[in-house]
Structure 1
Amino acid sequence: MLIDAPTLRHTAHLLTVDADWLVAQTEWLARSVDDLNATGFQGEAAEAAVSRLHALAQPMAVPPEQMLRVAQVLSMTAGLQAELDAAVHRAVALADRVAEDTPLVTLLLRDLRTLGDVLDWTCARQIDLLCTPIPVEAPTRLSDTPDLDLAAVHELNMLSTPVTGHGDLQILEAADARMVVAVGDLESAQSVTTMVAGVGSSDPAGLPVHLDRARTVAAATGGAAVVWLGYPAPESVPHALAQEPARAAGAELQAFQRELARRFPHQRRIVVGHSYGSVVAGTAASRGGGLYADDLVLIGSPGAGVTHAGQLTLLGDHPRIHAMTNPSDPIGLTVTQGAGVHGPDPTSPGFGARVWPGDSSGNHGTYWEDPEFLARLRDLTDQKKPMASSE
């Protein structure tokens, strides 16, 4: 719950008064110790005692300094909160004058309140930094801000990683070579599809393509979609032979899905791993603790980091593994039914996944344009709907 501007100013005033009192007491104590010599307290032992008393009193100067800094933070926050309060007041007055319920005014009020949440969180974090000797790292993962709703998380990430021209997305995580964004109303959606991208996905120039795919998936499933670029992806196909990026990324994906499950325990969760992203998703599901997903879909996969689907642990009511590779997808040249750098072909009969037939005219990048693929994703979002008989 936000604290109003007058309360913040009053608290800052009290801290300043108490800090001044502590400073006065510290100075009085120092003078009293110095005055011991005038009482006849002389000699080597007396000097050692006076020196020791000064050393013991020295830490008393730290709390007043911290209190004054905290008071400055509170005063600054109070000024910003007052401006937000005034903006909310003007927006409410505008809403009262509008005869109809205008969505624009509703969105404005929501955004202003969200900024208030961000201001509250930022103030608290700054106070922690002033009062905690251990450095506090800036939040880079969704789990780093468990008390903030997604709108506030988005505004906080926009401060450091602004993404313009895409008003329908929320930034959930942002850091160097990492970006996780949601399309659709993630907080109210019945299902969420996390899309794990592959080679070259860390290039910011490719973000619009990933967002368009997410919009397509969100529209097809009727839920939310997450573009998960939460790792430094291999830059090229030769670099994708390495397994270490998938191991590191698997831990990150596992943590992200766990936080989604904590925030929205009743959502249906689908993870789609494309290309090297399927290696990442498979690695996450084969790690200790498993992957919070009801369904794992491996498309255009060079392998899932395991030899059999039974080695993948999904944390869902009725977990299922699905695989699909278009016949014309060149990724098929890198993997066989029996072996591959990242394991056997997930569409091979011996792997144990539910195999979806690929598009005969499709290639490595056209899965998101395939109506049959999108329809099958839609099927996964409805637990009561039977799977197509071709499976």
Structure 2
Amino acid sequence: MKKFLFLSVLLIISTSCQNPDNSENTEIMPVATSDSEIPELLPLVEGKTVKNIIFLIGDGTGLAQITSGQYALVGPDGLLHMQTMPVTGFVKTHSSDNLITDSASGATAYSCGLKTYNGAIAVNPDKEACKTILELAEEMGLSTGLIATSSITHATPASFASHVESRSMEEEIAVQLLNSGAEVMLGGGFEFFSSQYRSDSLDLITQAEEAGYQLLRNKEELDNSEAEMLLGLFANDGLERAETEPSTSAMTTKALDILSRNEDGFFLMIEGSQIDWGGHGNNTDYVLNEVEDFDAAVKTALDFARQDGETLVVLTADHETGGMTLQRQRAEGDSLEIYWTTGYHTGIPVPLMAYGPQATEFMGWRDNTYVGKRMAELLNLGSLPQMK
């Protein structure tokens, strides 16, 4: 006799979600009228191999975050730069122990090609370290980089270049980042490297400089740097959007300038970290500002890839945050109601987009582990997962 396992799912429908007159958790978002030229839809790139990969992660970014960014920034008839990518799919995001993933397990699925528990940084469910795509790239002679608007020790960037049981171990993550071999690391997180703030008083700043990194603390130093190894720590923790801090696009430009010097290729991960933070706070303005910053970095990446011809750009998210919905247009037609259903992550699948050689490998419905595995294969780094 065949035995079947049935999963019982309890669906709880909030009456407030069904009532458009309910103002709780609702924000009003102005809708833009764009007079600017709509970006050109990018073509498929045929018949070329992948030399470089730029992997963009909009933390907490679902279809609602992208669409609200489009409406507010360029209008209903406009396009964000990420919307010009010719290949689109979806990513299933569950972790090994929960249908709702966190950023650590979500990023580990991309970096190692395996499912793990929430909070795990590049370790499997048995807490054994897995080799990451960044580490494999370094072993094969490629250059690598990490960019984030959070601390560089935060869950997503950490999952590409360190291995710890819990994402909260940021001081240990900082130590491992310096030993990862990554040529470029740009974001926040000064407090996790400075003896002034660390609980063990370890001076990782001096260690980084002795290892060949130039320490950068503001956008002027980034712009003027001619070094080939960079550690940019532009805030104590996450970036605060101060005038002295570089944009994600500026960090991307500098990273691409350095990494593209390697004739063997490169792997670069760029995270729009704080889109997620805006979602956690149910703060539409915060989300829109971060989507705008992230999309400018997407443009920088796509412009590079179009000129280079051998660069694959893959864009996705680790999960959606906030249960953001576009609820109702106001009668005037110049604003839209945004409704938030939660202050945490959701299990909604997230968009997957690609441009460049082999971009069609990222169409359809995919598991998050597939994305990491396929990127490693396209860079000829071997098969994931691999254990250290």
The reply to whether TM is greater than 0.5 is: no
Larger Rg belongs to: 1
Q: Which has the higher helix share?
A: 1
Higher RCO (CA 8 Å, separation ≥ 6 residues): 2
What's the TM-score once normalised by structure 1's chain length? Answer: 0.28
